[in-house]
Structure 1
Amino acid sequence: MKIFITKFSALLFILFYAISIEAQEFQGKAYYFSKTPMELGRWGAKMSEQQKKQVEARLKNRLEKTYVLTFNKQESMYKEDEKLDAISGATDSWGKNFTPGNQYKNIKTNTFIQNQEFYGKKFLVKDSLQPIDWKMGSETKTIGKYTCFKATALLLKSQLSWYSFSWGQLRNNTANSNDENNNSKVEMVEVEAWYTLQIPISQGPGEYWGLPGLILEVSEGNTTILCSKIVMNPKEKANIKVPEKGENVTRKEYKEIITKKMTEFRENRGRRRRQ
C-alpha cells in the first residue's frame, strides 16, 4: 500500500508539472545520439580482429551519430550534427545520399517536411506525419532527471527507411513482384519508445511522434537513439523555419526516384564493362 501511494504521488507530481509547462510558452532543445552495432555477416568471418577494427573506424560516422531536436508546442526541427571522418578528416559524402536530411514536423497541421539531397539534386519531401499505433504501458524508468513511460509499436520497415537504398531490398522487391504466387509477408519492425510527461509535447527523434510526452529513447531493430541532454527555454531562442528549397515530392515518389536512378547506375556500369 505504501509503495502504491508513493508511485501515485510521483505520478501526480509529474502531471502537475506537465500542466504548468503546458500553460506557458516554451521552447527547448533535446540532444540525441544513436548507435548501431557493426554487422559484417559472412564477410566478417574471414577478417582478422585488426581488419574488423579498421572497418569499424571507417564506418564510425555511419554507426554513431548525434542529433539536435529543437521544439516548441507544435513544431520541431531535427538535424544531424555532422562529424568529420575519423580517418580522412572529411564528411561521409557518399553515405549522405542515403541518410535523412533536416526534418520538420508540425503536429497541429499534421505536416512532415524533410530536406534530401541525392547526388547533388535537392528534394523537398512533403507529406503527412506517418500515423503510429502506440501501445502504452505502465512500466517506467528514469532517463536523466525525467521519469519516462514505455510505449511500443509495430511499424513497416519501409516506413522508417524510405530515404535509404539497398541492392538486397531491390532484389527482394523485384523477386516478389515477379512471383505470381507471392505469399511473402511485409517486413515489420518492433519499436520501443520511452517518453516523459514532464515535457508534454507530442514530438520525438526522426519519424517518431504521437505520444503524450517528448520521446527520450527509441529502439528499432539493432539501433538505439537516446537523449543525452535537454535544454528548456534557452536564452537564445531558435527560430524553427519550415524548409523551402528543393523539388517537391512525397516519400513514395522520392523512394521511386532514387531506386530508378541507382538501377540506371548499375545498368550503365554493366554496359561499360561489356564494351
Structure 2
Amino acid sequence: MLEILLLLTAIGAGFLGALLGLGGGIIIVPVLTLFYQVNIRYAIAASLISIVATSSGAAASYLKDSLTNLRLAVFLEIGTVTGAMVGFFLATYIQAKYLFLLFGVFLFFSAVMMLRKREGQLSVQNHPWADALRLDGSYPEGENKTVFYKVQQVPLGLFAMFGAGILSALLGIGSGIFKVLAMDGAMKLPIKVSSATSNFMIGVTASASAGAYLLRGDILPEIAAPVSVGIIIGSFLGAKAMVKMPAQRIRQIFVVVLIVVSVQMVWKGLS
C-alpha cells in the first residue's frame, strides 16, 4: 500500500518538476519527510534519484520538441559544478538556519518579481558571448509558429549558476528553481526554454551526488524504486503538457510553487 501511495505522489511531483524545470526533488523531499515520516537522509537520496529520473524522462521529449538549448546548458554547467564544489567546502562554516532564511526570503522576492507584468520580455539582441558561442535559438509555439530568441547577460547568468551550485550544495536540494530564475530573469529566455534547459542540467548535476549517496548506502530500493517510476511517468506527462500549455500559465504555477517553498524554508530556518 505504501509503495502505491509513493508511486502516485511521485507522479504528481514528476509532473510539476518537468513542467517547471525543478526536477521534482524540491517537492518530493518535504512530502516524504512530513507525510510519510521517511528519514531525511533516505528522502534526499530518493530525491536525487528522482531528479535524475525526471531529467531523463523529460529531456528526451524536450529535445525532440526543440525546447532545450543544449549548447547553453553545457556552458552554464561550468558555473553550477564549480559552485557546488565551493558550497561543499563552505558547508562546515555557515549555520544552516541562516541559509534557510536567506533561501526563503530570496524565493519570495523572486515570486513577487515574476508576478510583475513585463512587456517585451524576450531580448532582441545577443550578448557578445552569446554571439561568440551561438547560444541563441528558437522553439515551436502552437501549430505553425516559431519563436526566435536571443540571450542577454551571459556573464550574469553564469555567475547566477555559480550561486545556484553553492546553495544547492549547502542546502542539500536541487537548484532547478535558481536555474529557471536565472535564465528567465537575467538572460531573458522564454519560460518554456528555461524550464526545458533546467531539466537537462539538473540531471547532470544530480547524477554525481546520487552516486555518492549510493556508495554510502542511503538509497533504499523500497522508497527509491516507486518514487523513480512515478517521477518518470509524471515527468513524461509534464513534458507533454508544457508544450501545449500557455507560457503565462506556467509562470503562474511557478510563482505558486515559489511561495509555498519559501514559506517552508523560512519556517524551517526559524524553528
| TM-score, scaled relative to structure 1 | 0.26
Q: Which has the higher contact order (CA 8 A, sep 6+)?
A: 2
* Higher gyration radius (CA): 1
| TM-score, scaled relative to structure 2 | 0.26
User: More strand per residue: 1 or 2?
Assistant: 1
